[in-house]
Structure 1
Amino acid sequence: MRILWTLPYLPWPTTSGGKTRQFHLLRNLAARGHRITLLVQSKSELDDDTRAALEPWLERLIVVPRRPLRSARTLLAIAFARPPMLASANGFSPQLQQQFEALLQEHWDVIQIEHSYSFQPFEAPLRRAGKSFIMTEHNVESGLGAASYHHFPDWARPFTRYDQWRYRHWEERVFRQTRQLIAVTEDDAKGLSRMTSRATSLVVNGVDCDYYAKVCPDRYSRRLLFIGNYEYGPNLDAMEWALDHIMPKVWAIDPMVRLTIGGYALPHDWPQRWGDPRIDWLGFVPDLRTVQNEAAIFFAPLREGGGSKLKVLEAMAAGLAVVTTEQGVSGLKVVNGTHYLGCEDAHGLALLLVEALAQPPRLAKIGDAARAYVRQYHDWSVSAAQLEGIYAQVHQQEDTHACA
């Protein structure tokens, strides 16, 4: 199939869950013979490394620069336009709209749009051309609440409530126009189906199981690991909660436990804010296997967010035992005590960590069960097959409609 795929970010380097998902789905679909043109609106420039990573899988890569977040156009749109804040920041781009309109003059078997917040520049061209499209919604954005407005001060709460109201209306407007709507978890699919009164498809988040297959965690190391993208509010909240309320309780029982914290956009002031020498601070880690081999547990004390967590799936694929919350395993069909260890309060998580670190054989058993689960249900080949099936179904329906 010829596929026109749009994204509001370059999917390389894979510094976030969304970028990781996009890169691997594009790669898997291209490997299955589909011809993909990728249209990206990006806040970062297309460098040689990114071009080299993406172009082998694409028929064409077209990148349109996104205007600065604090531009007058963006600020005015956020304050006064009908789309909500996130959609306004990614919308109202004449250059992107013109490029998309030109591409619509070609024949496409599938038009794939990611995220409702990216939709504003595409709405009018699609309507004028009479083209149908598929949309993947990674989270129900209007329901994320604190996760979306993490950096806002308390005095801005009236605006955040207003913006959530705008987003509910925006979602209803966008989703009504889709030929097929796709979610990444069953819970989100059910929620979107209630919102739209029609079926929502599912394409699960995945992981490159072969890539992590040879990782051998050091279950005797007494080292915890967390990796995240700190542009995402729930990851900031998770580590602040861990460092303020959980780790002090852990160290009061076992002062030899170490914690490695890494990932993209790690706040510069954190090493000074939490200066404990038992914390190892890393930036972006290109190859997670290097740090997974040194850890005993992947610790993900997430309290906010949505979708299924790629960092948790990657840890499970590496055979790491995961200690987390219900939010940390949202969207996964895993069992507490079998595939992971979970608790919801700081004291309980601290005890769980200390007890687990003292039982390396138990860590091995949980890690092995999680690795088997992920390989069966969440390899990227599974996700790509699900998406390919949706494409085929929609394409067949359109052919039948055309013949009629």
Structure 2
Amino acid sequence: MPWPTCSGGRLREAQLLRRLSAAFDIEVVAVSKEPDLDRAHLGDAEAVGVRARIFPASPAAAPGLSPHVRRHQSEPARRYLTARLAAGPRTLVHVEGHYLFHLLPRHAHSRTLIVEHNIESLLFEQQARAEDDAELLADARLTRRTEQSCWRSASAVAAVADDDAAHIRARLQGRQVPVIPGGADHLAAESPVAAPPDASRLAFVANFGYPPNLDAAQLIIDEILPAVWAHCPEATMTFTGPSAPPWLRAAASDPRVVVTGFVPDVAGCLDAATVVLCPLRVGGGVKIKVLEALARGRAVVTTPVGLQGLRHLPEGSVVECPDVPAMIDACVRLLRSPAERELQEQRALLAARNLPTWDASAGLLAAAWHGLMTGTGHATLATMS
């Protein structure tokens, strides 16, 4: 369910659906791990002209199913989609992530678009290498087979990042895979909000229910902050986003650490930051959190993973760090030097002007939908998320 927009994926879906609902008859079929929360936001869907149905996920430990497919089992959703899609061929199905594809009846496969935010098998491989974990490696292999099967069965596949699209094309032997990027103009700033000259505020904005973000938060607490405090003892660290686990909330016992939880608008948190930190070691797609920081003109310190899908930006748009010592050094340098930080903020705003808008992204998605539909006129779309 795209609402509340408490993650980059939800925000992307909400921005696109709001723009496309005037031209398409859209119904969201959501398989939810938090059905009560999602049902409370049905009005948000109605407000932009989208119908929504919520079905609780029923995780099942069936052998042979990849982890994401197991987590998104829902027999009520399967039954509803089977009945719903028997209505006629004019309905196109847009699936957010291959792991929901298994809920569709076979006859709907030929009118289905799968959009991948990440290549999940690659994320498992990254985690397996980082943790030297044979079980994660087995999950990667199983997920890879599942991805391949779904992509081949669907009528079309799209990605949000060039790197991911190239990976899918290679695995599908050159099949066309359009890129539908995310925008950042929902937080566009004409000029950066100046922090006080003596400000020393680090910030990380993320959904902490997502394992790669948790890994990054743990890295900040365990390694980055202690080293930064050795040079800048007055520095503060703010974690903004939903689903903070107990160990992260406990870190706020130090008055220099703030854990805000979910906020409806992250612009204020970004504007209050001196440096936005994004130390992701695992990930794929394009990070909305990085786009938002650039749009607000913030100095961003990140990893090669955080820059995935953003290699087209002007060089130096963010401070890219290959390892933890480099991230620590970059944070200390930017906290101590207002002049260097101001230069980095101007680079961020320049980069933001090179980012796609949500209108452009919605136009690309609309073109993909139209290309898969037969006939003309007002078309019906079922979106699974």
If the TM-score is normalised by the length of the shorter chain, which range does it land in?
0.7 to 0.9
Per the alignment, residue 320 of structure 2 pairs with 342
| Match of residue 37, structure 1, among 27, 31, 52 | 27
Instruction: Tell me how far 1:175 sits from its aligned partner.
Output: 0.5
Per the alignment, residue 136 of structure 1 pairs with 115
Task: Tell me the TM-score normalized by structure 1.
Answer: 0.84
Per the alignment, residue 225 of structure 1 pairs with 203
Amino acid at match of 2:70: S
Cα distance in 2, alignment partners of residues 233 and 358 from structure 1: 32
- For the 8 Å contact 1:219–1:363, the answer to whether it is kept is no
Per the alignment, residue 64 of structure 1 pairs with 55
**Structure 1 pair 217–87 and aligned structure 2 pair: CA distance change class (3 A):** farther
| Match of residue 100, structure 1, among 81, 85, 93 | 81
* Matched position secondary structure for 2:118: coil
**Structure 1 pair 332–42 and aligned structure 2 pair: CA distance change class (3 A):** same
- When structure 1 is superposed on structure 2, of 173-182 and 351-360 the one drifting more is 351-360
Per the alignment, residue 83 of structure 1 pairs with 65
Deviations 1:341-368 (A, max 9, x none): 1212222211111111233243233223
The answer to whether structure 1 residue 18 and structure 2 residue 22 are counterparts is no
* Matched position secondary structure for 1:377: coil
| Match of residue 201, structure 1, among 159, 175, 178 | 178
**Structure 1 pair 159–350 and aligned structure 2 pair: CA distance change class (3 A):** closer
- For the 8 Å contact 1:38–1:58, the answer to whether it is kept is no
* Matched position secondary structure for 2:30: strand
Instruction: Tell me how far 1:163 sits from its aligned partner.
Output: 2.4
| Match of residue 279, structure 2, among 301, 308, 312 | 301
Amino acid at match of 2:77: L
Deviations 1:260-305 (A, max 9, x none): 1121111122343574322122211222122222111111111111
Task: Tell me the TM-score normalized by structure 2.
Answer: 0.88
Cα distance in 2, alignment partners of residues 16 and 196 from structure 1: 29
Deviations 1:224-279 (A, max 9, x none): 11111111111111121122212222111221221111211111223435743221
**Structure 1 pair 213–27 and aligned structure 2 pair: CA distance change class (3 A):** farther
- For the 8 Å contact 1:181–1:200, the answer to whether it is kept is yes
Instruction: Tell me how far 1:176 sits from its aligned partner.
Output: 0.6
The answer to whether structure 1 residue 50 and structure 2 residue 26 are counterparts is no
RCO (CA 8 Å, sep 6+): is it higher in 1 or 2?
A: 2
RMSD: 2.6
The answer to whether structure 1 residue 121 and structure 2 residue 121 are counterparts is no
Instruction: Tell me how far 1:212 sits from its aligned partner.
Output: 5.2
- For the 8 Å contact 2:313–2:351, the answer to whether it is kept is no
Instruction: Tell me how far 1:172 sits from its aligned partner.
Output: 1.3
Cα distance in 2, alignment partners of residues 106 and 243 from structure 1: 54
Amino acid at match of 1:338: G
Cα distance in 1, alignment partners of residues 135 and 171 from structure 2: 23
Amino acid at match of 1:291: C
- For the 8 Å contact 2:161–2:179, the answer to whether it is kept is yes
Cα distance in 2, alignment partners of residues 219 and 194 from structure 1: 49
| Match of residue 243, structure 1, among 200, 221, 226 | 221
Amino acid at match of 1:160: L
| Match of residue 393, structure 1, among 371, 375, 379 | 371
What runs of 5+ residues in structure 2 fail to find an aligned partner?
377-385
Instruction: Tell me how far 1:84 sits from its aligned partner.
Output: 0.9
| Match of residue 359, structure 2, among 381, 390, 393 | 381
Deviations 1:321-378 (A, max 9, x none): 1111111111113568631112122222111111112332432332233234334423
Cα distance in 2, alignment partners of residues 279 and 177 from structure 1: 48
- For the 8 Å contact 1:217–1:318, the answer to whether it is kept is no
- For the 8 Å contact 2:3–2:41, the answer to whether it is kept is yes
| Match of residue 160, structure 2, among 184, 192, 209 | 184
Cα distance in 2, alignment partners of residues 190 and 106 from structure 1: 33
Per the alignment, residue 307 of structure 2 pairs with 329
- For the 8 Å contact 2:207–2:242, the answer to whether it is kept is yes
